[in-house]
Amino acid sequence: MKKIGFIGLGIMGSRMAINLQKAGFSLIIYNRTKEKANNLLNNGAMWVDTPKDVAQNADIIITMLSTPEIVKEVALGYQGFLSSFRDNSLWINCSTVNPSFTREMESSAKKIGIRYLDAPVAGTKRPAENGELLFLIGGDTSSINEAAPLFNSMGKKTLHLGKVGAGASMKMLINQLLGQSMVAFAEAMVMGEAMGLEKDTLFNVLLNTPVVAPVISTIRPKIENADYEANFPLKWIQKDLHLSSICAYEHNVAAPNLNTTKEIFAQAKQQGYGDLDFTAVYKYLNLKK
């Protein structure tokens, strides 16, 4: 069985790596904070001190990192893994990055004989924990087939959307709609409460109309119980909306709603909500609370 390198053990990556381990894969892991790797290490994963060391020991590398800048540093920077990866090895990038960036990473990998898959995921902490993620994949079919056992261990479904960049493109749209839907619902809730309607009534009526995105029903308990422990940190949806706005600029697409939503989350982040769940935008907008 091939050795799998895994870089990035945050909320999502740590759970994805555990599912790979449960499926019997041998892991070589690197993370900026070693303490986050303790569960994996206790179950037999191999720790290395640099991304470069991952490449020297692994056949396939999976990255699950927070920003394009960090992905680039880990891959191409000092002690980056690309320069030490064996010829024809496979890099699977599950990080949420913009399409032009993911194509740039493919180009860098291709120049030195490394294959690349663009494979961001749809899903948050619970689906990652349960191995129920949706993989949105751009890349060649042979590499996807090779990686299928990995995707099947971490997710419930894979969608091959086309060439590298297609996966990132779809992820941009999904998170764009998620952010916009959350802000729209939060605004409606705050306005309804200001007009004297009870919160329970607002939930029970609005969530049973076709005008509210279905995802809102799944996050109702977060708002209802003021439970803002992060499943999807607010600072990261703001980052994703920013990346989506870059896509809009690159393709000469007007996106006023996207940019307004991005700035609402940016304001919430500035006010100290960044490490809370993205649903905390309701708390931010509900200033009287």
**pLDDT per residue as tens digits for the range 165-175:** 999 999 999 99
Number of domains in the chain: 2
The mean pLDDT of 174-186, rounded to a whole number, is 98
Share of the chain above pLDDT 70, in %: 99
Write down the pLDDT at residue 289: 53
The mean pLDDT of 23-48, rounded to a whole number, is 94
Domain that holds residue 256: 169-285
pLDDT band at 288 (very low <50, low <70, confident <90, very high): low
* Domain co-membership, 142 together with 40: yes
Residue matched to tokens 């998620």: 178
Write down the pLDDT at residue 195: 97
Write down the pLDDT at residue 260: 98
Would you say the pTM of this structure is higher than 0.85? yes
Tell me: pLDDT of 231 over 80. Answer: yes
* Domain co-membership, 34 together with 144: yes
Q: Which residues contact 240 (CB under 8 A, 6 or more apart)?
A: 96, 171, 172, 175, 176, 179
Write down the pLDDT at residue 84: 94
The last residue of a domain, from among 109, 134, 163:
163
* Domain co-membership, 184 together with 139: no
Q: Give me the torsion for CA of 256, 262, 264, 269, rounded to 10°.
A: -170
Bridge-partner residues for 147, per DSSP? none
- Alpha carbons 47 and 45: distance in angstroms, whole number: 6
Catalytic sites, residue numbers: 171
